[in-house]
Chain A
Amino acid sequence: DQQVKQNSPSLSVQEGRISILNCDYTNSMFDYFLWYKKYPAEGPTFLISISSIKDKNEDGRFTVFLNKSAKHLSLHIVPSQPGDSAVYFCAASGGSGGYQKVTFGTGTKLQVIP
């Protein structure tokens, strides 16, 4: 049972434009959400997170939006840069798994075209 879903396995965006990566979750007990970036043969790198008490968190070019009623979150990258090309994982924690256990989505491969 995939509790965190990223329905788009890949996304291509022109350099300078906005990249929007989407994530849906099914467990209403999740209350902390994270985005990670991963290059091939490397471990994921933490990007940005958001608590369920907020609906938006911004850090430089990265903004995460949370819609609790829809159980949906998105990561916006603007402007997109070629170095942003990587696989992005959405993750969630909380609920019966506790706050230390993180459930990952299947990832979205972002390609930023120069």
Chain B
Amino acid sequence: GAVVSQHPSWVICKSGTSVKIECRSLDFQATTMFWYRQFPKQSLMLMATSNEGSKATYEQGVEKDKFLINHASLTLSTLTVTSAHPEDSSFYICSASGRVPYEQYFGPGTRLTVT
């Protein structure tokens, strides 16, 4: 149980275009979903927290107009990277919580490469 999926697993896009990444909790209702970014050999950096039906809470330094987060249902959250640039290239990981307090279940991640 506690399976979280992400789609796509990897994506290559051209600079200036937008990319949408989906995060789904497959076997539980996720009241809260999180989006992280990981740079090579670095820790997971929390970008934003989203609760179903409400606006996402962004961490300091994360541009909310660039990284659009939607959490429309208890099983789906989306991250849209708008007007992507090469510096946005990274590994994006979502997680979901809801089954057990304090514990997050992570998706497999999405590798974004902006050319």
Contact = CB atoms under 8 A, between A and B. Distances in A.
Q: Do A and B bind each other?
A: yes
A40 to B, nearest CB: 10
B43 A105 contact: yes
Given A42-B108, A43-B95, A43-B108, A100 B44 contact: no
Interface in A76-114: 89, 93, 99-107
B67 interface: no
Interface string B45-82: 01001000000000000000000000000000000000
Interface string B83-115: 000000001011101000111111111010000
Interface stretch (A14-22, A44-52, A53-61): A44-52
Interface residues of B, number: 25
Contact of A100 (B6, B49, B108, B111): B49
B103 A49 contact: yes
A93 B32 CA distance: 15
B43 to A, nearest CB: 4
Contacts of B107: 43
B4 interface: yes
A32 to B, nearest CB: 5
A41 interface: yes
Interface of A: 32, 34, 36, 41-46, 49, 89, 93, 99-107
Interface of B: 2, 4, 6, 32, 34, 42-44, 46, 49, 91, 93-95, 97, 101-109, 111
